[in-house]
Amino acid sequence: MTGANISFAEVVLLAFWAVLVAELVGDRSMYALASLSLRFRWVVVFAAFTVANATKMAVAVLLAHLITRFQSHWTYLVSAVAFFISAILIWLDESHEMGHAGEKRATRSKAAFVSFCSFFLTEWGDPGQIAAAALVLRFHLTLATWLGATLALMLKGGFAITLGLQIRDRLPVRTLRILSSVSCCILGILAAAQSVVTWV
């Protein structure tokens, strides 16, 4: 198949399937997403996740040649730092001195900020982005690839959010905060270890 004889819809479906499989098998952001949904409102987390990953996927398909060679210890190091910062921010309590409305706004802003940074600053050059970049190089249909890949990421996000909500309904707030922070720390440690391995 070449870009000349494959349709836009076929590339959307192909990108959706390729990226979904790559993300489910080789990506850790599902765990981060489930962890953040334990602590923050799922709508805010999902929106931040979608915007961050749609932006990253746009970069991946527009810079396909670069993304396919992008794995380095620096990407893992940035991921580790972002996960550790997320763990700290999740752990910190909201101020009890502000009013109820102000507290809700602060919580929503914090959730959006922490969630967006957790996903935008981590996992660059991951299997899903590489799969999308490869499809662009193969078929030269950038928009179709981006659309299919982004829909796949949203579906993956839906799975992870559902898991997080199932857990959140069964645990007290303090336990959720600890679990969410510890999960981000573990992801940070794993990313730091990968940074060391790729550096050596």
Decide which of 177 and 47 is more confident: 47
What count of other Cβ atoms lies within 10 Å of the Cβ of residue 77?
Answer: 17
Look-up: residue for tokens 């996960």?
A: 83
Are 118 and 184 in contact, with CB atoms under 8 Å apart?
yes
pLDDT digit string (tens) for 37-69?
A: 888 888 999 999 999 999 999 998 988 877 766
Question: Helix 142-168 and helix 29-39: axis angle, to 10°?
Answer: 50
d(CA 105, CA 40): 12
- Answer yes or no: are the C-beta atoms of 129 and 67 closer than 8 Å: yes
pTM score > 0.85 for this model? Answer: no
For residue 173 the two structure tokens come to 């707030």
- In the block, which residue shows the tokens 């990953």? 53
| Spatial distance between the Cα atoms of 159 and 27, rounded to a whole number of angstroms | 14
Highest mean pLDDT out of 27-36, 65-74, 90-99: 27-36
pLDDT digit string, tens, across residues 83-117: 788 778 777 754 443 444 444 555 788 889 888 98
